[in-house]
Amino acid sequence: MKRVAQLSIVLLLILAVVAASGCTSSKGRKLVKEGYLTIGTEAEFAPFEVRLGDGSFYGFDIALGEAIAKELGLKVDYIDTDFAGIILSLNSGKFDIAMSAMTITEERKKSINFSDPYFDTGLSLAVPANSPVQKLDDLDGKIIGVQLGTTGDLYASSLKNVREIKRYPHAPDAFLDMKNGKVDAVINDDVVSKPIVAKDPNSFKIISGLLTIEQYGIAVPKDNEALLQKINAALKKIKEDGTYDNIYDQYIIHYSAE
């Protein structure tokens, strides 16, 4: 009887260890920083993510990330990183998730998992205010500015007969070069281009109509299925209780580029 009791205790201990380590199995991994949801973002893509003068982060994705972390019982820590390398940094364990106005694409799905979509968007074409360009065909022989590694980059690369595609680490850099006459047009996410154009309507305009229809998702490493499920559950809750609508109203509807 004593031996049976000892075996039972050992079995219970083994089961307890297995249960406790479930979050670090092949379906999950430990958080980068205990007690925190560490989020990678490229903080030069207003109104989604911006680095303010005091070093703090601001924007739609920032507020949404904070709401998700709160639902998970965690604090939040943001890491500013270039968008072109954000998936590589995510998979190398630099942060737990990437939340940076990232369009869900089949190509990206090969290396990461995406949460349920959380924002509908699309690409648009911005040109100088005095530009004669009215449609895509007018871009023949023109220089197009895009942000490196984005769907805008991919779209511009598919165009025929353009003179050159200039790739920038940050979207505002492309607009600055367009203002200075070095770029003839910028292909970028419409919701990001609009406040830039609204702030300087004498320099820029957007050609009417979206070039694409896209959706943003939160990037999660493929070996962290447990976190993916928690992120989706938190997103669902945030949308149901009105938190998402409040964030959208503040950072999208009433966002000011000033």
The percent of residues in the chain predicted with pLDDT above 70, rounded, is 88
Residue 124 near residue 193 (C-beta atoms within 8 A): yes
Overall size of the chain counted in residues: 258
For the residues 17-36, what does the mean pLDDT come to? Answer: 62
Residue identified by tokens 């511009």 is 156
pLDDT digits (tens, 9 = 90+) for 202-236: 999 999 789 999 999 999 999 999 999 999 999 99
Whether residue 27 has pLDDT greater than 60: no
Q: What is the CATH code of the structural domain delimited by 28-120+215-253?
A: 3.40.190.10
Collapsing DSSP to helix, strand or coil, 90 comes out as: helix
Rounded distance between C-alpha atoms, residue 83 and residue 169, angstroms: 7
Whether residue 21 has pLDDT greater than 60: no
For the residues 19-36, what does the mean pLDDT come to? Answer: 65
Q: What is the CATH code of the structural domain delimited by 123-212?
A: 3.40.190.10
Whether residue 1 has pLDDT greater than 90: no
Q: 15 pLDDT band (50/70/90 cuts)?
A: very low
- Report the pLDDT value the prediction gives residue 25, as an integer from 0 to 100: 35
- Report the pLDDT value the prediction gives residue 257, as an integer from 0 to 100: 52
C-alpha distances (whole Å) from 102 to each of 113, 149, 169, 202, 206 are: 12, 10, 15, 30, 22
Q: What is the DSSP string of 165-218?
A: EEEESSHHHHHHHHHTTS-SEEEEEHHHHHHHHHH-TTTEEEESS-S--EEE--
Q: 22 pLDDT band (50/70/90 cuts)?
A: very low
Residue 67 near residue 127 (C-beta atoms within 8 A): no
Sequence ranges of the domains in the chain: 28-120+215-253, 123-212
Fold equal for 28-120+215-253 and 123-212: yes
C-alpha distances (whole Å) from 35 to each of 6, 129, 248 are: 36, 49, 27
